[in-house]
Amino acid sequence: MARISAAQRRQDFVNAAVEVIAKHGIDGATTRRIAEQAGANLAMVHYCYDSKEDLFADVYKFVVGKFRVLSSKVDPEATLTEAARKILRDIMEYYVESPSFAISALELINWARRQHEDSGIELYDRALEGARTALRDAAADSPVDEETVDEIASAIACLSDGFAVGWITYGDRAFAEKQMRIADSLFENWLAARLGSASVAG
């Protein structure tokens, strides 16, 4: 059997932590449960991580990285409006495909906010930064200013977070599809009103 590298094993533990957090919350995400979810022994967790906090730091990085990946899937030729709508849709679709991620992401942000106020804000801001970067790129040749880009990123967060709560609560794909269509329509209308002539392709 091929030996699993420490890097791969750490990723396994991060993936397992996401699942355990989704099922048991932060307080219930013990290293023992995480090891069991990853199909490893507890000693391996302690070999890869000095502490549970170190493991959770990697989970934070994973969550932020996933949002950045989702925000990067924008066509370089897309207009600002097209880029914004795609980012929102991609995040919602990922939530549907990965409900454990949706639950864990919200749980981590809320937990960090409760325990370490600035850490919660920092995690949320870092998760949003991928969207801001993609939107800035799409707005490069348009008259849209930085404040507007920030507002659009915030609107994406508001809609996707609200969608996540509904999806987590009901867990119904038909309901989720309906909610995505509503969010798409609301966002398109808001963008048209907010950008006006500035939404012309750049």
What CATH number has the domain bearing residue 12? 1.10.10.60
Whether residue 99 is contained in a domain is answered as yes
Q: What is the identity of the amino acid at 97?
A: E
Residue 34 sits in the same domain as residue 110:
no
Same domain for 163 and 128: yes
- The more confidently predicted of residues 96 and 196 is 96
Same domain, 89 and 44: no
Q: What is the pLDDT of residues 71-93, one digit of tens each?
A: 999 998 999 999 999 999 999 99
> In this structure, what CATH number is given to the domain that contains residue 98?
1.10.357
Q: Tell me, what's the pLDDT at 202?
A: 39
Residue 200 has pLDDT above 70, yes or no: no
**Could you tell me the residue range of the domain that residue 157 belongs to?**
57-196
201: in domain = no
Residue 164: the pLDDT is 96
Residue 110's pLDDT band, with cuts at 50, 70 and 90, is confident
Same domain, 20 and 73: no
Structure tokens at 101: 């991620």
Q: Which among 127, 131, 129, 126 has a CA at the least distance from the CA of 89?
A: 131
pLDDT tens digits for range 114-152: 877 677 788 888 889 999 999 999 998 888 999 999 999
